[in-house]
Amino acid sequence: MKGILKIAFKLLVNDKGKFAALLMGITFAVFLMVMMTSIFSGVLRSASSVVINIGAKIWVMDPAVTTVANSIPMPDFVQDAVRSIDGVKFAVPLYSGAATLRLSNGVYQSVSILGLDDTSLLGRPELLQGNITDIFAENGFLVVKDSEINKLNDPHIGTTFELNEHRGVIVGIAKVTANGLFGMPTLYTTYNRAIQYIPNARFTTSYVLVEPKSPEAVQHIKDEVKKMGFIAVTNEEFRENISTYYKYKTGLGTNILIMTLISFIVGLSISGQTFYTFILENLDKFGALKAIGAKSRELIIMIVFQAGFTALTGYGLGVGLCTLMIGLAKIRLPNYASVVTFGNLGIAFIMVLIIAIFSSLIGVRKVLKIEPFDVFRG
Amino acid sequence: MTRSAISAHQLVKWFGEGDARTNAVKAASFEANFGEIFYLVGPSGSGKTTLLSMISGILKPESGNVTIDGTDIWALNKDELADFRLNRIGFVFQDYHLFPRLTTVENVAIPLILKQRDWDEAIYEALKYLEIVGLKDRAHLPPFKLSGGEQQRVAIARAIVSQPDILIFDEPTASLDGDTGKKIMSFIKDEILNENRCVLVVTHDSRIFEYADKIMKMEDGAVTAIENKSEVK
């Protein structure tokens, strides 16, 4: 069998023009499919950045919340009520909102502000400079060092700004796992300072962050919170809810899906057509092989191998090209929202397999139809 | 002592449907022996290619049977028939049907590879047969870089590499000039034919009739005459 595969391999790669066209078609299709889905994954990851960075196990919120950005403040009693549920180890408030700073040069800049629980600082970021306890200092804020930090005029420890006629001072430079989606710098402060500095409605708690005593307690906590008219979701569920919102309620998912399908169809058309031409050109030779004594299953194996080899090589090249492009883009644009995930690779792989199966089928169909007698007849 | 290589008995083949139905071969019978070069001759459309296909196990006749060295080939199933062709019959097609993307030696090795022989072993064996046909120095060239006569010899090497006892040549001189055609036929007669091999040639090239031991003439699907060597002009 190895010999037959070697013949199939040589027939394929020695036809350099067609092999190159096949590879280009599949590589380009994979590149587009992975790129599209990676951009989408990047957007989804950025949209969930607060959830990822804070990292709380359970989030309690208003049922109407669709993304972190549109949090709906809850009454203060919710936090106390959650704390009293069996199975809750602790529950703390989180403030999440946006504000406009006035920088020292007089320029206004929108920022995202997270107010951490004053006693536990649950969800605090890792500090690159400064000391976490300085967040309790007068007017203390931490700034996240990401691609947006320069919008605050290259801040450092001691940099001051104005927030709703309150003075703010940078007391630490932090780093986080995921960058935000909306291109705004992120500041961390304490919960009480956040609700004091930023104008609010009567209710101030954006989320209640819960640590369950055990994994088994999660469902009970969810049920109890539901009875209160709110919802409790795990970190993964919250991210999934945000993802679902962007996928199905913003049109973004549909657009990406359409572009991915178009890439798939382009790849399918190019490789299907080229592979069909390749088979047609060798059809008489396959007929001759049949006459000599090759069995149909051996010819099928040859064709499936050729289609599979081309598809997998094109897949590898496409993924490589995509990774290279994303890497290069991130050098220039550090906040470039594109992430290659196993899910993206899996989707592209399945689509490439479909391309390979389709190409094989049209080739196999043609080769099975050719009769050795046709070779004699010319 | 002659030994029967191919025995065809009352072979009939029809093509088409309804009014277009044509009797391509009409009850053709003949016998070819080992050690013979047997010609099937006749004008275009006389049914010789159809008859050749039925004899070689690639086109099933409507009726009649073909026995090769005692085996009724049309009693075999599809896979057995493919194996029979691979092991017992060598083909040289009119257009050679060499793979242009493989080297000459790889083309010759194909029947051995189909017989599941190891690649290196098959290539080594194929080189020996290329030497027999005088093309060892062209072993690593693609077939399209060879002349028509050389391609013909490569096709012969491919046909004989698995040492079949029946060799079938379809219009072997059709694309060759007279001298090259004669050289090829004399090579077949002197180097390829032996007492354990029967060579069947379909041709309408009268310039090579002198190499035949028997000539069977066909017209409109029917065998009109079978002449022995002494009668061949």
* pLDDT-based confidence at residue B32 (cuts at 50, 70, 90): very high
Instruction: Mark yes or no for CB contact A292/B111 under 8 Å.
Output: yes
pLDDT at A237: 93
| A368 CB within 8 Å of a chain B CB | no
Q: Is there a domain that residue A74 lies in?
A: no
Average pLDDT across chain B, whole number: 89
| A283 CB within 8 Å of a chain B CB | no
Tell me the per-residue pLDDT of B171-182, one tens digit each, with 9 for 90 and over: 888 777 778 788
Cβ burial, residue A17 (10 Å; 0-12/13-18/19+): exposed
Q: A256 and A373 in one domain?
A: yes
| DSSP strand pairing (A160-163 vs A166-175) | antiparallel
* pLDDT-based confidence at residue B231 (cuts at 50, 70, 90): low
Q: What is the number of domains present in chain A?
A: 2
DSSP A124: P
Q: Is there a domain that residue A286 lies in?
A: yes
Q: Is there a domain that residue A231 lies in?
A: no
Q: A144 and A32 in one domain?
A: no
Instruction: Mark yes or no for CB contact A376/B93 under 8 Å.
Output: yes
SS3 for A234-255, per residue? Answer: EHHHHHHHHHHHHHHHCCHHHH
Cβ burial, residue B204 (10 Å; 0-12/13-18/19+): middle
- In chain B the domains, ranked by start, together with CATH numbers, are 4-231 (3.40.50.300)
- Per the structure, the complete domain to which residue A34 belongs is given by 2-46+251-377
CA of A301 vs chain B CAs: smallest distance (Å): 12
Q: Given A186, A205, A224, which residue is the final one in a domain?
A: A205
Q: Given A177, A205, A233, which residue is the final one in a domain?
A: A205
- Looking at the partner chain, which of B94, B101, B170 has a beta carbon nearest the beta carbon of A10? B101
Compare all CA atoms of chain A with the CA of B111 and give the residue at the minimum distance: A292
Tell me how long chain A is: 378
Contact call for residues B129 and B105 (beta carbons, < 8 A): no
Q: Is there a domain that residue A122 lies in?
A: yes
* pLDDT-based confidence at residue B230 (cuts at 50, 70, 90): low
* Amino acid identity for residue B90 in this structure: G
Tell me the per-residue pLDDT of B73-95, one tens digit each, with 9 for 90 and over: 999 998 999 999 999 999 888 88
Tell me the per-residue pLDDT of A51-80, one tens digit each, with 9 for 90 and over: 888 889 999 999 999 888 788 899 989 999
Determine the Cα–Cα distance for residues B199 and B194; give it in Å rounded to an integer.
9
Determine the Cα–Cα distance for residues A31 and A314; give it in Å rounded to an integer.
9
Q: Can you say how many angstroms the Cα of residue A144 is from the centroid of all Cα atoms in its chain?
A: 21
pLDDT at A7: 92
Q: A95 and A39 in one domain?
A: no
Q: Is there a domain that residue A78 lies in?
A: no
pLDDT at B109: 95
What is the CB-side half-sphere exposure of residue A45 using CA atoms within 13 A?
Answer: 17
Sign of dihedral through CA atoms A73, A233, A121, A84?
Answer: positive
Tell me the per-residue pLDDT of A297-348, one tens digit each, with 9 for 90 and over: 999 999 999 989 999 999 999 999 999 998 888 887 766 778 888 988 998 8
Q: A107 and A22 in one domain?
A: no
Mutate to test the interface with A, among B60, B68, B101 (most CBs of A within 10 A): B101
Instruction: Mark yes or no for CB contact B113/A14 under 8 Å.
Output: no
Determine the Cα–Cα distance for residues A249 and A259; give it in Å rounded to an integer.
17
pLDDT at B1: 66
pLDDT mean over B190-198: 86
Give the strands of the sheet with B22-33, arranged side by side: B22-33, B4-15, B63-68, B71-72
Q: How far is CA B21 from CA B16, B17, B27, in A?
A: 4, 5, 16
- Looking at the partner chain, which of B83, B85, B101 has a beta carbon nearest the beta carbon of A15? B101
Q: At A197, list the tokens.
A: 């500095």
User: Which residues of A are less than 8 Å from B68 in CB distance?
Assistant: none
Q: A349 and A290 in one domain?
A: yes
* pLDDT-based confidence at residue B125 (cuts at 50, 70, 90): very high
Tell me the per-residue pLDDT of A118-144, one tens digit each, with 9 for 90 and over: 999 998 998 899 999 999 988 999 998
| A317 CB within 8 Å of a chain B CB | no
DSSP A182: S
Q: Is there a domain that residue A6 lies in?
A: yes
Q: A262 and A173 in one domain?
A: no
pLDDT at A1: 65
| A294 CB within 8 Å of a chain B CB | yes
Q: Is there a domain that residue A215 lies in?
A: no
Q: How far is CA A172 from CA A49, A50, A162, B59, B85, in A?
A: 20, 19, 17, 86, 83
Q: A266 and A373 in one domain?
A: yes
pLDDT at A154: 85
Compare all CA atoms of chain A with the CA of B55 and give the residue at the minimum distance: A373
Helix (H) or strand (E) holding A273: helix A252-281
- Looking at the partner chain, which of A6, A11, A375 has a beta carbon nearest the beta carbon of B97? A375
Q: A267 and A363 in one domain?
A: yes
Q: At A12, list the tokens.
A: 């394929």
Sign of dihedral through CA atoms A146, A150, A152, A156?
Answer: positive
Helix (H) or strand (E) holding A167: strand A166-175
pLDDT mean over B212-216: 92
Determine the Cα–Cα distance for residues A105 and A151; give it in Å rounded to an integer.
12
Indicate if the pLDDT at residue B233 is higher than 60: no
pLDDT at B62: 92
Instruction: Mark yes or no for CB contact B99/A282 under 8 Å.
Output: yes
Q: Is there a domain that residue A262 lies in?
A: yes
DSSP B232: -
CB A309: neighbour CB atoms within 10 A? 18
Q: Given A185, A205, A225, which residue is the final one in a domain?
A: A205
| A292 CB within 8 Å of a chain B CB | yes
Give the global pTM. 0.76
- Looking at the partner chain, which of B97, B102, B119 has a beta carbon nearest the beta carbon of A11? B102
378 residues of chain A, pLDDT tens digit each: 688 999 999 989 998 988 998 898 889 889 988 988 888 888 888 888 888 888 899 999 999 998 887 888 999 899 999 999 999 999 999 998 889 999 988 899 999 999 999 999 998 998 899 999 999 988 999 998 887 888 888 898 999 999 888 999 999 999 888 777 777 889 999 999 999 888 777 888 999 999 999 999 999 999 999 999 999 999 999 999 998 888 888 888 888 888 888 888 888 888 888 888 888 888 888 888 888 889 889 999 999 999 899 999 999 999 999 999 988 888 877 667 788 889 889 988 998 888 888 888 888 888 888 888 877 666
